[in-house]
């Protein structure tokens, strides 16, 4: 696959996974905290070259959940009055707090939009099976896995 097609695919995946390309999110933080991209990478706990690859779309995702958690922490800190004031000492304090944090990421840390994940599963099921097969599969799953059966049944319905 040609590199520009890979980049376009990765940017589309980033929009799906993160709401927008990571380059846009990172650039806003670079501006908000008045730091270099390399400095921001160090705060996040990712190498500068890796951050650059993710920002440009040469890589699709941030592999380390703690790095993503720190990115979100910084985005939230931008909204606080202390950081929004733009005072250097407040900006540096926020960066230091995030750098020193050791976020743990579990199932409850980042609640997923169930509707969105359901839609992805339904679309995937529709790509691999026809409605009759999905209906039959739902019947087989009903007794032991009723929630999965319901999802499969919804996929069997024509959109």
The 10s digit of each residue's pLDDT in 5-48 is 999 999 999 999 999 999 999 999 999 999 999 999 999 999 99
Please give the model's pTM, rounded to 2 decimal places.
0.65
In angstroms, the CA 47 to CA 49 distance is: 6
Of 7, 53, 52, the closest CA to residue 30 belongs to 52
Neighbours of 42 (CB within 10 A): 16
> Which pLDDT band holds residue 150 (cuts at 50, 70, 90)?
confident
Predicted local confidence at residue 159, as pLDDT: 64
CB-based contact 46:98 (threshold 8 Å): no
Name the H helices within the chain. Answer: 3-18, 22-33, 37-44, 48-56, 65-78, 81-84, 88-100, 114-128, 131-141, 146-156
For residue 69, pLDDT over 60 is answered with yes
Q: CA 50 to CA 41: how far, in whole Å?
A: 9
More confident residue, 63 or 89: 89
**Residue-averaged pLDDT of the chain:** 88
What integer is the mean pLDDT of 118-133? Answer: 87
Count other Cβ atoms within 10 Å, centred on residue 55. Answer: 20
Q: Residue 122: its pLDDT value, please?
A: 87
- Separation of CA 38 from chain center: 21
Q: What percent of the chain has pLDDT over 70?
A: 91
Confidence category of residue 145, pLDDT binned at 50, 70, 90: confident
Which of 10, 36, 18 minimizes the C-alpha distance to 75?
A: 18
**Residue 141 token pair:** 């799953």
């Amino acid at each position: 696959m040609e590199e520009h097609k890979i980049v376009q695919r990765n940017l589309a995946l980033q929009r799906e996974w993160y709401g927008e390309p990571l380059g846009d999110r990172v650039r806003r933080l670079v501006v908000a905290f008045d730091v270099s991209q390399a400095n921001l990478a160090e705060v996040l706990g990712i190498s500068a070259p890796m951050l650059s690859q993710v920002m440009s779309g040469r890589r699709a995702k941030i592999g380390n959940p703690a790095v993503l958690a720190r990115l979100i922490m910084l985005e939230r800190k931008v909204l606080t009055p202390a950081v929004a004031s733009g005072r250097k000492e407040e900006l540096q304090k926020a960066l230091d707090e995030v750098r020193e944090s050791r976020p743990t990421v579990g199932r409850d840390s980042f609640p997923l939009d169930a509707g969105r994940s359901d839609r992805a599963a339904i679309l995937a099921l529709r790509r691999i099976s026809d409605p009759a097969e999905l209906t039959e599969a739902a019947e087989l799953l009903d007794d032991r896995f009723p929630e999965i059966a319901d999802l499969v049944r919804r996929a069997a319905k024509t959109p």
